[in-house]
């Protein structure tokens, strides 16, 4: 079959909502686009453990400590499913981690902001997991089977994280004045970075058109961002907190909230590595990897010794 | 000392062991050698903190002064903590973490195995529930002892160094004081003297399989059970208790 014919059939399958599976033929660009996206997603889960992990040892009650530990552990699990999903496309986890540590692969910029107070843990759950859900619910219908199935599992946990984060915010907002201020300050600092999580505006997004054609993505960055704002504004109102955007207002004609312009200069600065924590996040991942090297080597060496001993016994 | 006072202290020992070790293990979350082990070590931390909550809640009830798990965890200073010195030792590397875990798990397993038959039903119930988790912890740490002891030359050397460093904290658990005695007499806790040979027997067996040498001629440190700790505990508490201390009397 000619290449054109293969590509035509591939697109027909996509259009007919038939999932693409690992053994199916796929255009090289589809495969590479997916590897990029899934591995970036996996790295985000793993790097995302760091800002919240920063508060595990300082969680204010034992109940909160257990909940936060379990949440960060879930993110490690998400990283694992996603690395496995990416491996079905013919790349190994080691290669992907190498790409992360060398700076070749990206991860979500949101995790390059610091968690300064306990309220940041609430704000991350509420806003960051909340924004992630918008994206991930869409991805449960993505065209690549293993990715879509990984997302179904992950989404259930993310919505739990979002509720948990919101509940922390609610407790603070209904607490003392100091706690309310802590919550407002966290919202002030996390709001705009959360909006940036959806990526560049559609007119500037290099991957969107192709990703939409192949149904890797099914909504554009701007559509998702709007959806997030529409859902989140009433939640902030219920908390009695103010979203730090003077241009935010309900637009009756559109049936959506209008909101102010994102600081794209900040967006690109953080993407390019100059956010407040980029170097610290990479340092932490690199250190964990390097300090763990002897453990991974020893585990392999021991497994090999055991295999040999069993073989000797058998013969 | 009344039996009730002794029981309160005894429950704090149980709760503080689980809490402080859980706190230490939680420091690994996000930093472990490989994702699968990040998840596994966090499971141990989660189990232990869960157990600590049960013990401390019961301790508060026994004390009868209206203190809950959080008031006990967050508002006591180092001198009022009763965990073993072993569990407050730093993570250092994966080798120290595993050796510390293994030396503790074997004791903790033997202890809970007895506590499930405690004459105090509340103690028996918590112990029985915890025992399932502790059995798994012991399996996990024993397997890692062997894997790393008998892995590469580097892993073997690291494990031996960790064992040499931590061995001095391995016997405190079995040093019986008035509280242990009162609890044993009441049938609430076990006679620790009977558990000690079992402990050493099992530890020796695993060390042998791991090709590690038990240190000889080590002075055994003590004091944690009575509230005399190493300098590490103060820092653990400073970190753990920060919010409750900086913002007193608030709901979180
Ligand atoms: Fe996640
Ligand atoms: Fe999450």
Mean pLDDT value across residues A40-64: 98
pLDDT at A154 over 90: yes
A60-90 pLDDT per residue, tens: 999 999 999 999 999 999 999 999 999 999 9
Compute the distance between CA of residue A311 and CA of residue A165 in angstroms, rounded to an integer. 52
CB-based contact, A295 to chain B, within 8 Å: yes
Q: Look at residue B166 and tell me if it is in a domain.
A: yes
Question: What is the extent of the structural domain holding B235?
Answer: 3-215+224-246
CB B191 within 8 A of CB B184: yes
Q: What is the pLDDT of residue A264?
A: 97
Mean of per-residue pLDDT scores for chain B: 98
Domain assignment of residue B207, yes or no: yes
Q: How confident is the model at residue B245 (pLDDT cuts 50, 70, 90)?
A: very high
* Packed helices B121-149 and B35-63: angle between N→C axes, nearest 10 degrees: 150
CA-based nearest residue in chain B for residue A285? B31
pLDDT at A79: 98
3-state secondary structure of A20: strand
Q: Please write down the long-range contacts of A7-15, taking CB distance under 8 Å and 24 or more positions apart.
A: A11/A213, A14/A143, A14/A213, A14/A214, A14/A215
Determine the distance from the C-alpha atom of residue A16 to the mean position of all C-alpha atoms in its chain, rounded to a whole number.
28
**Percent of chain A with pLDDT strictly greater than 90:** 96
Mean pLDDT of A123-142: 96
Q: Which DSSP string corresponds to A244-289?
A: S-TT-EEETTTTEEE-PPP-HHHHHHIIIIISSSHHHHHHHHHHHH
List, in order, residues 6 or more apart from A180 with CB less than 8 Å away.
A172, A173, A240, A241
CA atoms within 13 A on the CB side of A178: 10
Q: Compute the average pLDDT of residues B67-79.
A: 98
Q: Would you mind telling me the total number of residues written for chain B in this entry?
A: 252
Determine how many CB atoms are found less than 10 A away from the CB of residue A276: 10
The answer for B 50-79 residues in CB contact with A (under 8 A) is 50, 52-53, 56, 69-70, 73-74
Q: Which two tokens stand for residue B137?
A: 């912890």
Query: Region A131-156: what's the mean pLDDT?
Result: 95
Say how far apart CA A238 and CA A170 lie, in whole Å: 9
Is residue B188 a contact partner of residue B120, using CB atoms and an 8 Å limit? yes
Q: Name the maximum alpha-carbon separation found in chain A.
A: 80
Closest-CA residue to A270 (of A100, A124, A112) = A112
d(CA A169, CA A182) in angstroms, rounded, equals 9
Label residue A206 by pLDDT band (50, 70, 90): confident
Are the Cβ atoms of A299 and B147 closer than 8 angstroms? yes
Q: How many domains does the structure of chain B reveal?
A: 1
In a domain, B125, yes or no: yes
| B202 token code pair | 């099992």
Q: Specify the DSSP element, H or E, that contains B139.
A: helix B121-149
pLDDT tens, A247-275? 999 999 999 999 999 999 999 999 999 99
What count of Cα atoms within 13 Å lies in the side-chain half-sphere of residue A257? Answer: 20
Alpha-carbon distance of B57 to A62, in angstroms, equals: 11
pLDDT in tens, B188-220: 999 999 999 999 999 999 999 999 999 998 899
pLDDT score for A158: 94
Q: Output the CA–CA distances (angstroms, integers) from residue A201 to A84, A178, B66, in the order listed.
A: 30, 37, 56
Q: Is B211 left (phi over 0), alpha (psi -120 to 50) or beta?
A: left
- Helices (H) and strands (E) counted in chain A, each on its own, are 14, 2
Which residue, among A309, A291, A312, has the nearest Cα to A301 in the 3D structure? A309
Separation CA B22–CA B91 (nearest Å):
11
Considering the domain boundaries, does residue B160 fall inside one? Answer: yes
Q: Is there a contact between A222 and A201 (Cβ–Cβ < 8 Å)?
A: yes
**What pLDDT shows up at residue B44?**
98
- Best of B18, B29, B99 to substitute, by most chain A Cβ atoms within 10 angstroms, is B29
| Residue B183 in domain | yes
Q: Do A69 and B146 touch (CB under 8 A)?
A: no
Mean local confidence (pLDDT), B131-136? 98
Residue where the block lists tokens 């993570």: B91
Structure-token match 């189990």, residue found: B47
Supply the pTM of this predicted model: 0.97
CATH number at residue B158: 1.20.1260.10
Q: What is the pLDDT of residue A112?
A: 98
Q: Which of A42, A181, A302 to mutate to test the interface with B (most CBs of B within 10 A)?
A: A302
The reply to whether B45 falls in a domain is yes
Question: In this structure, what token pair is assigned to residue B140?
Answer: 């996990």
Instruction: Say if A57 is an interface residue toward chain B (CB within 8 Å).
Output: yes
Residue A208: the pLDDT is 79
Going from the C-alpha of B15 to that of each of A65, A210, B60, B72, B172, the distances in angstroms are 15, 57, 11, 10, 16
Instruction: Give the pLDDT band of residue A314 (cuts 50, 70, 90).
Output: confident
pLDDT tens sequence across B33-63 = 999 999 999 999 999 999 999 999 999 999 9
pLDDT at A207 over 80: no
Q: Where are the alpha helices (DSSP H) in A59-123?
A: 62-87, 93-101, 119-123
| B29 interfacial to chain A (CB closer than 8 Å) | yes
**pLDDT value of residue B217:** 82
**Chain B residues closer than 8 Å to A66 by CB:** 46, 49-50, 53
Interface contact A49, partner B, CB < 8 A? yes
Q: Is B92 on the interface with A (CB under 8 A)?
A: no
pLDDT at A287 over 90: yes
Q: Is residue B97 part of a domain?
A: yes
Tell whether B251 is covered by a domain. no
Q: Give one word for B187, left, alpha or beta, with left for phi > 0 and alpha for psi -120 to 50.
A: left
């Amino acid at each position: 079959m000619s290449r054109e014919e293969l590509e035509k059939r591939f697109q027909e399958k996509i259009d007919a909502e038939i999932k693409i599976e690992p053994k199916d033929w796929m255009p090289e660009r589809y495969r590479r686009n997916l590897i990029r996206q899934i591995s970036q997603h996996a790295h985000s889960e793993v790097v995302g453990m760091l800002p919240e992990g920063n508060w595990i040892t300082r969680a204010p009650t034992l109940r909160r400590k257990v909940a936060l530990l379990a949440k960060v552990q879930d993110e490690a699990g998400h990283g694992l499913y996603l690395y496995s999903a990416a491996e079905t496309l013919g790349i190994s986890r080691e290669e992907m981690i190498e790409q992360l540590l060398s700076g070749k692969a990206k991860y979500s910029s949101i995790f390059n902001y610091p968690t300064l107070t306990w309220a940041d843990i609430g704000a991350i759950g509420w806003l960051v997991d909340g924004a992630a859900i918008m994206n991930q619910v869409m991805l449960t219908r993505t065209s690549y089977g293993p990715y879509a199935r990984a997302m179904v599992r992950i989404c259930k946990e993310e919505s739990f994280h979002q509720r948990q984060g919101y509940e922390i915010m609610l407790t603070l907002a209904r607490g003392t004045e100091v706690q309310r201020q802590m919550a407002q300050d966290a919202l002030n600092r996390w709001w705009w970075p959360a909006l940036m999580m959806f990526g560049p505006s559609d007119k500037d997004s290099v991957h969107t058109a192709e990703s939409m054609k192949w149904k890797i993505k099914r909504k554009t960055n701007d559509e998702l961002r709007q959806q997030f704002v529409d859902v989140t504004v009433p939640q902030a109102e219920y908390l009695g907190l103010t979203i730090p955007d003077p241009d935010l207002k309900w637009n009756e004609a559109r049936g959506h909230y209008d909101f102010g312009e994102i600081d794209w200069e900040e967006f690109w600065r953080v993407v390019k590595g100059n956010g407040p924590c980029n170097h610290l996040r990479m340092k932490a991942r690199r250190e964990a990897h390097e300090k763990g090297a002897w453990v991974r080597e020893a585990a392999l060496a021991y497994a090999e010794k055991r295999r040999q001993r069993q073989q000797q016994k058998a013969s | 000392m009344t039996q009730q006072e002794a029981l309160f202290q005894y429950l704090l020992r149980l709760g503080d062991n689980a809490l402080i070790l859980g706190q230490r293990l939680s420091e690994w979350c996000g930093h472990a050698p490989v994702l699968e082990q990040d998840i596994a070590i966090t499971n141990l931390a989660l189990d232990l903190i869960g157990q600590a909550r049960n013990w401390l809640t019961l301790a508060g009830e026994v004390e009868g002064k209206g203190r809950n798990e959080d008031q006990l965890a967050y508002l006591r200073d180092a001198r009022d903590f009763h965990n073993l010195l072993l569990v407050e030792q730093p993570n250092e590397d994966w080798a120290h973490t595993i050796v510390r875990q293994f030396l503790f798990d074997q004791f903790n397993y033997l202890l809970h195995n007895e506590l499930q038959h405690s004459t105090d039903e509340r103690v028996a119930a918590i112990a029985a529930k915890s025992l399932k988790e502790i059995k798994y912890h012991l399996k996990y740490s024993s397997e890692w002892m062997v894997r790393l002891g008998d892995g590469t030359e580097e892993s073997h050397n690291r494990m031996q160094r960790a064992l040499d460093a931590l061995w001095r904290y391995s016997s405190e658990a079995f040093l019986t004081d008035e509280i242990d005695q009162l609890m044993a007499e009441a049938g609430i806790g076990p006679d620790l003297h009977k558990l000690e040979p079992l402990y050493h027997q099992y530890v020796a067996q695993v060390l042998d399989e791991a090709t590690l040498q038990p240190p000889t001629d080590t002075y055994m440190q003590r004091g944690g059970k009575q509230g005399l700790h190493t300098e590490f505990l103060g820092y653990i508490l400073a970190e753990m208790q920060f919010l409750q201390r900086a913002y007193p009397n608030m709901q979180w």
